[in-house]
Amino acid sequence: MAMATRICSLARTRVARASLLGATTRGIKSSRVACSQSAAVRQVVEKALASSPGSPPQAIDKDRFFFDDADMKMLDHLGINTEVVFHNASPGVLYNEALLHEKGSAILSTGALVAYSGAKTGRSPMDKRIVDEPSTSGDIWWGSINIKLSEQTFNVNRERAIDYLNTRQRLYVFDGFAGWDPKYRYKVRVITSRAYHALFMNNMLIRPTPEELENFGEPDYTIYNSGAFPCNRATEGMTSPTSVSINFKSKEVVILGTEYAGEMKKGVFTIVNYLLPKMGFLTMHASANEGKNGDVSIFFGLSGTGKTTLSADPERALIGDDEHAWTSDGVFNIEGGCYAKAIGLTRENEPEIFDAIRFGTLLENVVFDERSGVVDYNDTSLTENTRVSYPLEYIPNAKIPAVGGHPTNIIMLTCDAFGVLPPVSKLTSAQAMYHFISGYTAKVAGTEMGVTEPSATFSACFGAPFMVWHPAKYAELLAEKMATHKVNVWLVNTGWSGGAYGKGKRMSLKVTRAIIDAIHSGDLAKAEYENYPVFDFQVPKSVAGVDSKMLMPAKTWANKAEFDSQVAELSALFKKNFKQFESGCSEDVRAASPK
């Protein structure tokens, strides 16, 4: 108890926001070298966090924070023996816990909670590892995306994570589901030392009913979030203090060295991205919504391309904003909530998201006025990647349960930093496969650590960081479903127009929404088209509510020579990227390459 008291005392000394964002890493840096072995980890941590002589023990207010029937030993079989466990605590309890124990947390004017993720304010994809073991090794697309990790190193990291959790006086456990279709859902348990993380996963996983929670049993997968403590860089396979590692054999995820909540969300997505395709079902980094006639649209795209914004349509029911599966029955959302970028958020442009910011919603790394509790969504002094997490049902027209039929339209979103792709193009089946496998966009500032301005990138299947199988696996599944259900496919550019990044302007949300509306109404499918050279796209001659000059990018550039140069450069990048996939593609797909 004395050691636990000292832990809480240390937490309360971190008072300034600046120190909050960096103190976790600084405070443990001196112990890294000494912690190469599991026993040494425990010894060093306990010594560092030992109570000072004479410190009086602090009793935990049990009457206020948990019920008599709470199981304080629910983690004992994992070797975690902390004093207090909050199991599926309500948002109100988690608010109280964050306000008491996490400096910088506050209740905002809307009733939402604000929290800070520390030094890491975006994902760390270079630190993701997957355990190389016989039962799954032959399935996995090994390389720069899925980096091999030995079982021995995983076990060292797991032990390090458990050692850290055992130094905490209180832990938070959330049990929830991944997947709205009961036939294909997975039980996930999250163990963390931060109330903020528990609230985040309460929003992002599907919350069980009281009866489902009572009968939850053992989880299919367990996430150990010890992100406030680093991995040991001297351990084989570790290249930084951060490690996010997945073991499909033991069905566990271990997080060290990053407190960014999005790592848990994407860890779950990576798991499902392995399991469902193994059963012959397509998983998609995509949003989905449904029209009044039951027509479903899928929006593929990486972070920053507009998936969340464009799928939150007041005229259509929201199925989900980021992660979906497509089975023989139709589509379903994998998540229980939404995780939207908050930068530049306004009620005028994104009313559904703006109005979802209320009690139970979590705002991450935003700047706010401490007197009024009002957020400045344009302030990026902490990070470009400000985020908001809220339950799916906070969107007024959300479809609950979040399942739908087979899609009518597939919309591939790209944020073109070159400014040369048309705002909308209708794709042939072969072009759809080519651009799905290519996954071109620009990484938008803030979505990953180190990205400060848009840069061209190719991400296979519009989600390579989360793909476990080779991209051809997902492409084959998509091709099969597109052919079976005769789906219209569109490429929509939400990036720059009239010039490349730095010279042109980003496509307005008003223009993109007009295009999406025309797709959903069926008007665009009946439009008259003209050919867009080099890429051989079919581009509509007119779209209601859009200046026809914008539809052909060359007409928006002041300098034609510069435009032609940018087209040539981008087409060359497409060709270079696709060489790695050519051998596994049919002739018609290879022919869909830019000329």
Give me the active site residues, please.
123, 266, 285, 303, 307-308, 322, 387
Hunting for tokens 């223009």 — which residue is that? 511
Rounded distance between C-alpha atoms, residue 45 and residue 79, angstroms: 16
Cβ pair 403, 319 in contact under 8 A: yes
10 Å CB burial of residue 36 (0-12, 13-18, 19+) is middle
Rounded distance between C-alpha atoms, residue 595 and residue 425, angstroms: 16
Length of the chain counted residue by residue: 595
Nearest C-alpha neighbor of 266 from the set 277, 255, 282:
255
Contacts of 462 (CB under 8 A, 6+ apart): 285, 286, 300, 301, 302, 412, 413, 436, 439, 441
Nearest C-alpha neighbor of 394 from the set 43, 110, 104:
110
Hunting for tokens 């000059």 — which residue is that? 549
Nearest C-alpha neighbor of 269 from the set 301, 290, 246:
246
Cα–Cα distances (Å) from 291 to 294, 305, 319, 445, in that order, read 5, 22, 11, 32
Beta strand 407-414 with 488-493 is parallel
**First and final C-alpha spacing in the chain:** 70
Peptide bond connecting 401 to the previous residue in cis, omega within 30 degrees of 0: yes
Secondary structure string (H, E, C) spanning 160-215: HHHHHHCCCCEEEEEEEEECCCCCCCEEEEEEECCHHHHHHHHHHCECCCHHHHHC
Cβ pair 577, 458 in contact under 8 A: yes
Rounded distance between C-alpha atoms, residue 562 and residue 585, angstroms: 33
Structure tokens at 409: 């339209």
Cα–Cα distances (Å) from 144 to 20, 147, 465, in that order, read 32, 6, 9
Rounded distance between C-alpha atoms, residue 417 and residue 300, angstroms: 18
Q: Which helix (H) or strand (E) holds 300?
A: strand 296-300
Cβ pair 105, 98 in contact under 8 A: yes
Structure tokens at 474: 């997902």
Hunting for tokens 């790695």 — which residue is that? 580
Cα–Cα distances (Å) from 147 to 234, 457, 467, 469, in that order, read 17, 19, 12, 13
Rounded distance between C-alpha atoms, residue 286 and residue 125, angstroms: 19
